[in-house]
Amino acid sequence: MAFGSFAPVESTGPYEGLYLAGQNVMAPGVIGTIMGSFSTVKLILGADEFRRVIRL
């Protein structure tokens, strides 16, 4: 992966029903924590419900 490129990250763990959220899912630090958490919530809710509930 080249610097500056983006690859989607899967937030699921090795066990069914285990979801990963936190700073190391997408990027380090506070912004990484927020991004990883939003990614996990979107995975759980589904893209349409996420857009409906979370208005950015």
pLDDT, tens digit (0-9, with 9 covering 90-100), for 26-53: 777 888 888 888 888 888 889 899 989 8
Q: What is the CA radius of gyration of the chain?
A: 12
Residue percentage of the chain with pLDDT more than 70: 71
Q: Is the pTM of this model over 0.85?
A: no
How big, in percent rounded to 5, are the helix, strand and coil portions of the chain? 50, 5, 45
